[in-house]
Amino acid sequence: MSGHSNYEPKSGFEKWLDVRLPIIRFGHDTIVDFPTPKNLNYWYTFGGILALCLGIQIVTGIILAMHYVAHVKFAFDSVEHIMRDVNYGWLIRYVHANGASMFFLAVYVHMFRGLYYGSYKAPREVLWLLGCVIYLLMIITAFMGYVLPWGQMSFHGAVVITNLIGAIPVIGQSITTWLWGGFAVDNPTLNRFFSLHYLLPFMIAGVVALHIWALHVPGNNNPTGVDVKSKEDTVPFHPYYTVKDGFAISVFLLMFAAFVFFNPNALGDAVNYVPANPLVTPAHIVPEWYLLPFYAILRAVPDKLMGVIFMGGAIAMLFLLPWLDTSKVRSMRYRPTARLYFFIFVVVTLVLGYCGGQLPDNKIIPGLTTFQVIDADLNSVVWLSRMATAYYFAYFLIILPVLGLTETPLPQPESISEPVLSHPANAPAGAAASPEKRG
């Protein structure tokens, strides 16, 4: 995209169009002839997987909207109508519902990859911020979509989440009423959620375009975190990464299909097959798996407003990350201490996810009744969440800023190609000598 273009319009039509709207040139420079670091591993294929996920969600979503009725009296039944009566409705709905999970699974891998290889560091801060915006929009979209079937979990999930806003001092209650369009979550709420659930994916697509634009200006980061030095360090995107991404996408789709065809409700909650009833709360309200860590953080704090602030803060940390990490070295391959803390961080987010799905008073180790320290039973999910929450914030606010200043990184290679070419097995002489000896 930046720099000169190698595109040569061939047909008459391409030449004609190129002077008027150079869109084919743009596509060629962006996804065919784009120089890409040659050492990208499979963690980097999730960008392509995510684009596919967004496409699948939009297509299946548009179709579902043709059959769905956004009214409290008909919403639940219209979903059942899709499942039973609409031709292939079951398939399209299961693809859409499981697609949301797959989308989040891929985005989390994509984000952890960015965290590990320092993809958020200069000059890619805007790229990272746009990614955070996409993630935030995804959360809002997924939440609103989850409300639409108007089951028990949908309804009470909506009640709980919208009530979070009521924690804002003074104006909170008016804002909640404004969001509801009534005195409670009701038909006006369902209607506007449907409208926004349809709109937001297109906004996501818009930000994705910006995200890709911001990626193509500095170019991809890579596992070494070392900048591209020469043409030697890159290969054209096509065919090298189109094929690699294509393979990864195929494997990903196999897993996706396994869920859709063999266990389509594994990631959903059975309680959502009970029609919404505002007078009875399910015994245990849980969000979808991909929001459990934030839910655990919310519950870890015994105060409503503070809980909301911490939950929001957990996402805000991501936005601040480029300025919190003070290290000059991008990739954690060369930051052994940071790497250790990073893996603890990954485990801690998984622990938070586990806690979010449990009742707060559940025991962690069932055999042990209590592990009393002063006033606290440390053998309870709520205390585990508290400790994990503390680490989550410490990682961003203490560990990364301090570590960047104190740790001694390992020596980084001169260039992307260097570690490959200097490796004895890959040395030119050896390479020339071995082919005929092999086998």
Partner 1 sequence: MGATPEHHTGGEDPNRRDFIHIAATVAAVGAVGGLAWPFIDQMNPAADTLALASVEFDLSKVELGQQVVIKWRGKPLFIRHRTGKEIAAAIKDDNAALRDPQTDEERHKAGKAEWLVLIGTCTHLGCVPTFGGGDFGGWFCPCHGSHYDTSGRIRKGPAPKNLAVPEYTFLSDSKVKVG
The residue ranges that bind partner 1 (CB under 8 A) are: 156, 159-164, 167, 177-186, 188, 192, 278-281, 283-285, 299, 301-305, 307, 360-361
CA distance 124 to 225: 12
Distance CA 14, CA 19 (A): 9
Q: How far is the CB of 281 from partner 1 (least distance, A)?
A: 4
- Work out how close the CB of 327 gets to partner 1 at its nearest, in angstroms, rounded to a whole number: 38
Bridge partners of 363?
A: 380
Shortest spacing between CB 299 and partner 1, in angstroms: 6
Nearest approach in angstroms of CB 189 to partner 1 is: 9
Comparing CB distances to partner 1, the nearer of 5 and 281 is 281
Per the listing, tokens 């936005």 go with: 319
Compute the half-sphere exposure of residue 20: CA atoms within 13 Å on the CB side of its CA.
6
Tokens (6 digits) for 372: 């009393």
CB of 255 to partner 1, least distance (A): 33
C-alpha dist (Å) from residue 400 to 324, 325, 412: 6, 5, 19
Nearer to partner 1, 174 or 263 (CB): 174
Nearer to partner 1, 85 or 303 (CB): 303
Structure tokens of 109? 């891998």
Half-sphere exposure of 42 (CA within 13 A, CB side): 7
**Which one, 287 or 409, has the nearer CB to partner 1?**
287
Distance (Å, whole) CA 180 – CA 374: 43
- The total of other beta-carbon atoms located within 10 Å of residue 391's CB is 19
Rounded to the nearest whole angstrom, what is the least distance from the CB of residue 186 to partner 1 in the complex?
4
Rank residues 185 and 314 by Cβ distance to partner 1 and give the closer one: 185
Closer to partner 1 by CB, 206 or 302: give it.
Answer: 302
Report how far residue 247's alpha carbon sits from residue 235's, in angstroms, rounded to the nearest whole number: 18
